[in-house]
Amino acid sequence: MGLHFGELAKIRGIITYKLSPFEQRAFAGLLSHGFPNSVKRIASMLIRVVPPFAVAYMIYDGVEKKHQQLMRKNPADYENDQ
């Protein structure tokens, strides 16, 4: 047959463009555009992410403290032991 995998069927009306991997610049603009954009996105998401985690941590911490308090022995129960 001699056809390659991407050329097995003739499809009309669809235009495809190909760029050689050797012509692409994988890290183009990484430091000038990518890093500042990442910082901006992270900062914008902090408003939505941090408050629920803070509330969840406060609830968890309070429950753990209460659990530790309830697990302790009461010294008044052992005053008359010899």
Supply the pLDDT for residue 2. 63
Residue 1: the pLDDT is 56
Complete DSSP assignment for 11-49: -SS-------TTT--TTTTIIIIIHHHHHHHHHHHHHHH
Question: Residue 75 — φ and ψ, nearest 5°?
Answer: -65, -25
Residue 22 lies in a domain: no
Number of domains observed in the structure of the chain: 1
Domain containing 47 equals: 32-72
Asked whether residue 6 is assigned to any structural domain, the reply reads no
Residue from 44, 42, 63, 61 nearest 53 by CA: 61
On whether residue 14 sits in a domain, the answer given is no
Question: Which residue type, as a one-letter code, is found at position 22?
Answer: F
pLDDT, block means (10 residues), the chain with 82 residues: 69 78 81 91 93 97 96 87 79
